[in-house]
Structure 1
Amino acid sequence: MGIGLGILLLVIGLILLFAIKEFPDAVQEVVDPGTVGWILVVAGVLALVLGLVMNKQRSTTTHVEERRDL
């Protein structure tokens, strides 16, 4: 989930930054879309990095089975 969410946030942030040139005035009065785009890009990169780190930790774990014969 972390990797997919990171990619989604990254794509939406980059679309807000570079693809959409004009926003309605009502939107720009409330919040700056460029700032929201940068926040989403940073959050997406962070989610990607954390997702990859968590997958790496999950793949390097070892399992030990303890058997007691009576």
Structure 2
Amino acid sequence: MGYGLGVFLLAVGLILALAVQDAIEAIDLTMIGWILCLAGLLVIALTAFQTNAKRRHTTTATTVDDQGRSATTQRHTETDPPAPPAI
């Protein structure tokens, strides 16, 4: 699942919804096209969300001193995407 699948579903859905004029008995091709468009947009949005979530990391460290007191620290880091290759 990725951007390619989302773009494919979106393209096929728009073709069925807007360009196909044929009619099949008991099947509404326009409605199927719009459903595929929505599914494609959902796949694209979910892929973008997952890709962005992979770049965020949280590190938690707990330390205890000699008297039994504990301290917890959290560090949030975001990794940058790799730089594009030089031409």
Q: TM-score, normalised by structure 2?
A: 0.60
Q: Displacement of 1:11 after TM fit?
A: 0.3
Residue 38 (str. 1) matches residue 34 (str. 2): yes
Q: TM-score, normalised by structure 1?
A: 0.73
> What runs of 5+ residues in structure 1 fail to find an aligned partner?
64-70
User: In 1, Cα distance between the equivalents of 2:45 and 2:51?
Assistant: 10
Higher normalized strand content (fraction of residues): 2
> What runs of 5+ residues in structure 2 fail to find an aligned partner?
60-87
Higher normalized helix content (fraction of residues): 1
Q: Relative contact order (alpha carbons < 8 A, sep ≥ 6): 1 or 2 greater?
A: 1
Give 2:54's aligned residue. 58
State, as a whole percentage, how many aligned pairs show the same letter: 39
Paired residue type of 1:58: K
C-alpha RMSD of matched pairs (Å): 1.6
- Structure ID, larger Rg: 2
Paired residue type of 1:48: I
